[in-house]
A and B are shown apart, each in its own frame.
Chain A
Amino acid sequence: MDTHTSTSPDRLIYMANQIGDFFNSQGHDHAVAGIAEHIKKFWDPRMRKKIFEHLDAGGAGLKPNVLQAIALLKK
């Protein structure tokens, strides 16, 4: 994936997956909660809105734990 141009939401998907990669080693439950909390704490509302829209459109490209975390956060 080309991250050198910031064509949203590609960059956000990339960032979310990167967060997922850190938390994944903690096991599924911890990982999903950790990813969700991280995004909640550090992403500004317009970034979260965009990733939610992407989730609603199927969430292509998001890794499984990340997908679940974003779904959890959207609730």
Chain B
Amino acid sequence: MSLVHEIDFGTPRSKSEKMVTLTIDGQSVSVPEGTSIMRAAMEMGTQIPKLCATDMVDAFGSCRLCLVEIEGRAGTPSSCTTPAMEGLVVHTQNERLAKLRKGVMELYISDHPLDCLTCAANGDCELQDMAGAVGLRDVRYGYDGENHVFAKNGPKHTHNSPEACENDHWMAKDESNPYFTYDPSKCIVCSRCVRACEEVQGTFALTISGRGFESRVSPGMSESFLGSECVSCGACVQACPTATLTEKAVIEIGQPEHSAVTTCAYCGVGCTFKAEMRGEELVRMVPYKDGKANRGHSCVKGRFAWGYANHKERILNPMIREKITDPWQEVSWDEAFNFAAKKFKGIQAKHGRDSIGGITSSRCTNEEVFVVQKLIRAGFGNNNVDTCARVCHSPTGYGLSSTFGTSAGTQDFDSVEDTDVVMIIGANPTDGHPVFASRLKKRLRAGAKLIVVDPRKTDIVRSAHIEAQHHLPLMPGTNVAVLTALAHVIVTEGLADEAFIRERCDWSEFEDWAAFVAQPNHSPEATAIMTGVDPKELRAAARLFATGGNGAIYYGLGVTEHSQGSTTVIAIANLAMVTGNIGRPGVGVNPLRGQNNVQGSCDMGSFPHELPGYRHISGDAVRETFESMWNVKLNPEPGLRIPNMFDAATEGTFMGLYVQGEDILQSDPNTKHVVAALSAMECVIVHDLFLNETANYAHVFFPGSTFLEKNGTFTNAERRIQRVRKVMSPKNGLEDWEVTLGFAKALGYEMHYNHPSEIMDEIAALTPTFAGVSFAKLDEVGSVQWPCNEKAPLGTPIMHIDGFVRGKGKFMLTEYIATDERTGPRFPLLLTTGRILSQYNVGAQTRRTENVVWHEEDRLELHPHDAELRGIRDGDWVKLQSRAGETTLRALLTERMAPGVVYTTFHHPTTQANVITTEFSDWATNCPEYKVTAVQISPSNGPSEWQKEYDEQARQSRRIAMPVVEAAE
């Protein structure tokens, strides 16, 4: 193996379809119009020396190293900023150019330290490479003049004293960011970092301060990196051609020697990375330019937050115990498998076949999820399988399959580049899906319009060079009323795309729907009293969306996690259809998926009523194909969903649960009810990296493997299936699919696979939308978006192009029904929940990385007015109470919140945010209503009794018994 090398073409690709032909160094080359001469030369394999150019950012023309001669033109223009034109004759090297370049290089090196041997960038330094490329052999200026290199000036430059004196130009290294350092003495002021921060990330945290010799890269107003607006995405580090911005891991370990392309295991964007290694040690994760989801960009989580894989709290040995009050006993894998199998068989013997079940992980691979649901359906003999999508995007599945015919988003992420009007509903992409947000912001800066429907004034509403045309700050729980009001305006003002609807949708259903939304009680004016949204703004937003060109809707859990989550998804689908925004680039309905493989876990048959590929278990023909391949009779009845499992556990009919990579106790609503359910079960098996909160109530612990330690595939929010590649041996001994196979064997249900690719072959054989997928194809083409089959061998970037998967698009009525979770005198405020950039989900991974410097605790965000009424100051401990329970956390006063609405994250177990959330849920899917809880807040002195009891229970439960040492005779 060696490092996966990527060509840097120097300037971005031109999208023009018109080709121009020119001659470079005697060779003829054709490139799209708008391509730079630098890129054209690289296309034919000639690398023109360069420092300030890199193909992730636009050409800048500052380093003057890439000069060329063009016949018939005066001077020596920079090849990065000069576009290729028909008939140009270009020379990239001759005596004059060589002399000029050498002179430029000499000046650079005269203000750069010569500690190359001990420099962290040794082996990966473009400055060093260019010095070599131009043949620099001498620096005539010496190092005694003014410089940025040395902390002190040499004695001969001190006028009155023989002592060395301070060099005012020198700046100390900034090591404030936990993952990379900024060493100004090595900076050549090429401004690649500044441009990467602007153009790629869109944060504008960096600038060049001063001019001429005073020019310096400056985070914010000469702040530290950590103290500035920097979001630590790593784009600047990647762009830096020298050791100025360097990963701390590279400084510590050294340069990597081989790498493998793999997929990030954090959010549903599914960024592609190169895992750069030394032996089995991970040196760094570098975003891969060929990654079709991220196009070479990354965020702080995927780029840097992988240290959890080596965290001291990671459990590496299987463990068992009879009672949850006992300490854990470390045992061999076989002992753990047999213990667990005996328990599960005993439960089935006593309570019946349907008394056990499992939860598949949205963080594990498709192959691992597939074998767990297979074990449950074929081995357990029931359909009690569910996945964490239950508590996030299950309404997306229901809503989009009812209206369009598929349970997934309609576009690829590239589609945003063709969008004219973006509508974001209940999503906070700059925190939750940062790499997609960067691509979105780039499009917005280029002129696309933005509508945000969200109770909070999220960052995207107004940030650097971006301002939403319309922000509709609705009261939590009124999504359906707002969306139906938008439809009301479109229909009653004659803005519906009738041609599209007549061709693509069921016309009579449309007429019923149009009559329904046109009713006066659905107008923005009539619904304003419930939604709190200014009718004028709402009307303007509706007009913009209907008439502004390509309209795309992006939505998140602020849509789904409501008692009317499924209805809201249906309303979104209606809105896309009525405006004709389906079936081409730039439009569509785009659910932003939470976890890395939540799409995949749904695809793989993790829902109790559906076999892989979203086919209902009651369908005889489909079931028979599985039965004949698996050689077993399957149960035709739907199984229990996660909340139903908890209910059945407290009733005594569901007594054994196998949880793969999911922390239901922390992530699911109404913690006390979950505790009661888990406590009632006779055997809980937790399969995870850490002793998570659920494990406090477990009897068996199977240690898991990280995404770096196994082979498989993840499927991201665009339906893109991408390879996960093993770069190190599993520290726990087994890849997760092998753990499931071991447990299955002990249960008497043996499955034979030698490699995850064989599992994918079985998935492809059983699932029509995956028929064309294989590891060999993914290795060849990188990734495919399902459906991938005979009709679309390379996958389907955009769905419903010529017609909807279900045939005619189905308009469905969306009556607004207020949630029963209402404010009143005792609980006058509404709590809504979310996540922040640096932390991920329940935080099991990110809390065990340096990311805690950005977010060490969950805070309660509230409007200063609400705070003042209650005598709460910023940073005070507050008690947060709902009908379900109470907890305490510290207050954060912010005007991002509307008065009457408070907000918190759920990344830390000690916060116990889900003690507060209730068991109200979506009518169709039982997806919990996390986004609306009526609460009261009051000043407090510190943690609640429940938090203290919980901590003590958790502490007791995590004890691991010391191995018994036999006494010597």
Contacts and interface: CB of A to CB of B under 8 A. Distances in A.
Interface of A: 1, 3-6, 8, 11, 15, 18-19, 21-22, 24-26, 38, 41-47
A41 B616 contact: yes
Interface string B618-656: 100000000000000000011111001011101101000
Contacts, number: 72
B54 interface: no
Nearest to A21: B817
B815 interface: yes
A6 B647 contact: yes
A54 to B, nearest CB: 14
Interface of B: 354, 383-384, 516, 563, 566-567, 608-609, 616, 618, 637-641, 644, 646-648, 650-651, 653, 670, 673, 813, 815, 817, 820, 883-884, 918-921, 923-926
B609 A41 contact: yes
A31 to B, nearest CB: 10
B813 A25 contact: yes
Contact of B918 (A4, A22, A38): A4
A26 B670 CA distance: 33
Nearest to B673: A6
A45 B918 CA distance: 25
Nearest to B512: A26
20 contacts: A3-B918, A3-B920, A4-B670, A4-B883, A6-B673, A15-B926, A18-B923, A19-B923, A21-B815, A22-B815, A22-B924, A25-B516, A41-B616, A41-B638, A43-B638, A43-B644, A44-B640, A45-B637, A46-B640, A46-B648
A45 B670 CA distance: 25
B647 A5 contact: no
Contacts of A21: 815, 817, 923
Contacts of B354: 44-46
Contacts of A25: 516, 813, 815
Given A4-B884, A4-B918, A15-B926, A42 B638 contact: yes
Contacts of B644: 43-44, 47
B923 A3 contact: no
B923 A46 contact: no
Contacts of A26: 813
A8 B653 CA distance: 12
Contacts of B925: 42
A43 B820 CA distance: 22
Main secondary structure of the interface of A (DSSP, over half): helix
Given A25-B516, A26-B813, A44-B637, A3 B919 contact: yes
Nearest to B607: A42
A4 to B, nearest CB: 5
Nearest to B639: A44
A44 B353 CA distance: 13
A75 to B, nearest CB: 17
A24 B815 contact: yes
B637 A6 contact: no
A49 B647 CA distance: 15
Contacts of B923: 15, 18-19, 21-22
Nearest to B616: A41
Given A3-B920, A19-B924, A42-B924, 9 more contacts: A3-B918, A5-B673, A6-B646, A8-B647, A11-B647, A15-B921, A21-B817, A41-B638, A45-B354
A8 B638 contact: no
A38 B924 contact: yes
A38 B648 CA distance: 20
A2 B646 CA distance: 17
Nearest to B815: A25
Contacts of B924: 19, 22, 38, 42
B643 to A, nearest CB: 8
Given A15-B926, A21-B817, A21-B923, A4 B516 contact: no
Nearest to A41: B609
A41 B608 CA distance: 10
Contacts of B817: 21-22
Contacts of B648: 46
A48 B644 CA distance: 12
Nearest to A16: B923
Contacts of B813: 25-26
B651 to A, nearest CB: 6
A3 B884 CA distance: 10
B616 A46 contact: no
A45 B640 CA distance: 9
Contacts of B566: 22
Nearest to B672: A4
Nearest to B650: A6
Contacts of A46: 354, 640, 648, 653
Nearest to B821: A3
Contacts of A15: 921, 923, 926
Nearest to B516: A25
A41 B925 CA distance: 11
Contacts of B516: 25
